[in-house]
């Protein structure tokens, strides 16, 4: 799936829809750690992962940009460090010039006001004034893989980001996951419209029937019931 189509379809979805789609498709849900948020409210990204393991110098990003394809998202692995910022305004400007559509940082950023003015979507764990005061050995896979929390991602993965956070998914499952997410979105929107019209969610999903059935079969879960009635509120 090309970047334009990926972005077009994600424009009407959320990372929550995609997370639920992963559950339904039995694809492991790989979310970035909870504090990961966009610098600008409403910022969104959807594209191929462009990995870079930061070791103390900006040159790793410049080298990554040499291999970037339009619409890639730079995913920076700084080990979740909170004692230094690893991305600032110059790296964001260079990313924008290279055709990169956003930056996801497992770590911190700085130059917040300047990055916000640049307009490139940047997701990070927070901000700090100081940059790195170190230069560590560079691992062999510095430009082929990045860790974000417990997950390792590469160019075989896609990254999606919105105000709920960041989620990674295998690129070869993109079409399936987007289709499932669209179905979940439509079901949930219909349910929300009916609640606003005065029809409770409990009645929509036959909650009283679920309670009765659970008396007969204590192992019956609410998720099993939702799948049977076409509900979508949990996946």
pLDDT of the residue at 99: 97
Strands 102-106 and 73-77: parallel
pLDDT in tens for each of the 235 residues of the chain? Answer: 899 999 999 999 999 999 999 999 999 999 999 999 999 999 999 999 999 999 999 999 999 999 999 999 999 999 999 999 999 999 999 999 999 999 999 999 999 999 999 999 999 999 999 999 999 999 999 999 999 999 999 999 999 999 999 999 999 999 999 999 999 999 899 989 999 999 999 998 889 999 998 999 999 998 888 877 765 555 5
Q: Which two tokens stand for residue 17?
A: 């829809």
CA distance 62 to 67: 9
Give the per-residue pLDDT at 228.
Answer: 79
Q: Are 6 and 46 in contact (CB under 8 A)?
A: yes
pLDDT of residue 229: 77
Virtual torsion, Cα 195, 200, 205, 208, nearest 10 deg: 180
Q: Among residues 4, 32, 39, 36, which one has the least CA distance to residue 18?
A: 32
> Which residue has tokens 């462009």?
50
Cα 147–Cα 151–Cα 152 angle in degrees, nearest 5: 50
Beta bridge partners of 124: 37
How high is the pLDDT of residue 233? 58
Count of other CB atoms within 10 angstroms of residue 162: 23
User: Is 110 known as a binding-site position?
Assistant: yes
Integer distance in angstroms from the first to the last C-alpha of the chain?
A: 24
What are 85's strand-pairing partners? 108
d(CA 233, CA 235): 6
> Do residues 86 and 59 touch, judged by C-beta distance below 8 A?
no
Residue 226 annotated as binding site:
no
* Total residues belonging to the chain: 235
CA torsion sign, 211 to 215 to 221 to 224?
A: negative
Distance from C-alpha of 18 to C-alpha of 235, rounded to nearest angstrom: 9
Return d(Cα 10, Cα 46) in angstroms, integer: 7
Q: Is 72 annotated as a binding residue?
A: no
- Ligand-binding site membership of 88 (annotated): yes
Query: Distance between CA 221 and CA 17 in Å, rounded?
Result: 21
Domains identified in the chain and CATH numbers: 3-176 (3.50.30.40), 200-235 (no CATH)
Euclidean distance between CA atoms 184 and 147, whole angstroms: 29
Q: Is 111 flagged in the annotation as binding?
A: yes
């Amino acid at each position: 799936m090309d970047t334009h189509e990926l972005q077009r379809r994600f424009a009407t979805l959320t990372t929550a829809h995609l997370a639920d789609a992963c559950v339904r498709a039995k694809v492991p849900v790989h979310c970035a750690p909870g504090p990961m948020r966009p610098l600008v409210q409403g910022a969104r990204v959807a594209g191929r992962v462009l990995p870079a393991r930061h070791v103390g110098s900006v040159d790793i990003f410049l080298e990554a940009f040499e291999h970037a394809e339009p619409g890639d998202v730079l995913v920076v692995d700084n080990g979740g460090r909170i004692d230094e910022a690893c991305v600032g305004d110059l790296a964001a400007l260079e990313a924008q010039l290279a055709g990169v559509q956003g930056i996801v940082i497992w770590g911190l950023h700085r130059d917040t006001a300047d990055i916000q003015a640049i307009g490139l979507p940047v997701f990070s764990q927070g901000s700090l004034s100081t940059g790195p005061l170190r230069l560590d050995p560079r691992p062999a896979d510095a430009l082929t893989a990045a860790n974000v929390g417990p997950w390792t991602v590469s160019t075989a993965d896609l990254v999606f980001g919105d105000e709920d956070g960041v989620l990674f998914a295998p690129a070869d499952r993109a079409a399936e996951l987007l289709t499932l997410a669209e179905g979940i979105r439509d079901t949930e929107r219909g349910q929300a419209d009916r609640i606003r019209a005065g029809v409770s969610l409990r009645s929509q999903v036959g909650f009283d029937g679920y309670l009765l059935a659970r008396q007969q079969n204590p192992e019956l879960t609410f998720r099993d019931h939702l799948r049977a009635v076409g509900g979508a509120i949990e996946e």
